[in-house]
Amino acid sequence: MPVASIARGVLLLAMVCGAAAISGCQLAVGYCLSSYSSLCPRNTSEWGPGTDVGYSEGVFKAYFQEFGSTRWTFDKSTVVASGGFGHVATKYKQPDFKLQVQYRVQDGARAAIVVRAADQQTITERNAYEILIAGGGNDATVGSITGFPSSAPAVLSNWGTNLVEIIVEGPRVSVMINGTVTTDLEVDRTSDGYIALTFQPGAGGHGKLVLYKIRKRWLRIGERAAISRASPVNSDVRLHRS
């Protein structure tokens, strides 16, 4: 391919990415040209398909806003939460989505993923659904939504990392931790809402939440998705409900 053609292609890519950024679309590096048409299909609050938001400080802070006294620091490709009580929340409300978070908790800290939050700053049981991923030393309710019974107990890794997969589709919230479906139920709040990660330190203010991967994609219009008990942990298989 002639050098001039390559140069024109690079210039076009820069113009497309620039125009998309000005319009407010949240574009992930690597998806600008190949997935541009699918990144902003309905509104500018949706992330692109399979967007990784936990690998760099700049990308993480572009999607999340910090609240409270928790310190969110960055060590190579991980995000570490420590210190006081707090959370991060997406800057825009999210419609139906699929979320994967790979994490590890140290020294009795408590952590949760919040979905369908009506308020970005103040999160309560009445305006959001809290999915516990670390119980502060009490893991009996990990994988459940606060206030709802779990389908099965989560089997957590004491030394390695854990992987939680969450699918939110209309009234349905499904949770799978390390291959076990812990929650699969329908809730009252079916519209969009903020996604948040909450942190509470363990005894004496100790403990950390280490995030290795935060990967999210929205469910496309007309798509129906569900977690299958037979699905591999890292699968992206789409199943249909009857």
- 108, 205 in Cβ contact below 8 A? no
- 28, 54 in Cβ contact below 8 A? no
Burial readout 59-75 (b: 16 or more C-beta within 10 A, e: otherwise): bbeebbeebeebebebe
CA nearest neighbour of 181 among 225, 139, 233: 233
- 77, 212 in Cβ contact below 8 A? yes
pLDDT at residue number 168: 93
- 161, 54 in Cβ contact below 8 A? no
The rounded distance, in Å, linking the Cα atoms of 38 and 48 is 7
Q: What is the pLDDT along the chain (242 residues), one digit of tens a residue?
A: 555 554 454 444 444 344 333 223 332 222 222 222 232 233 333 444 455 665 678 888 888 999 999 999 988 778 999 999 999 999 999 989 999 999 999 888 999 999 999 999 999 988 999 999 998 877 888 999 998 888 888 988 877 899 999 999 988 999 999 999 999 999 887 789 999 999 999 988 889 999 998 988 877 666 666 665 434 333 332 222 22
pLDDT at residue number 5: 55
pTM for the model stands at: 0.73
The rounded distance, in Å, linking the Cα atoms of 25 and 21 is 6
- 107, 206 in Cβ contact below 8 A? yes
pLDDT at residue number 223: 64
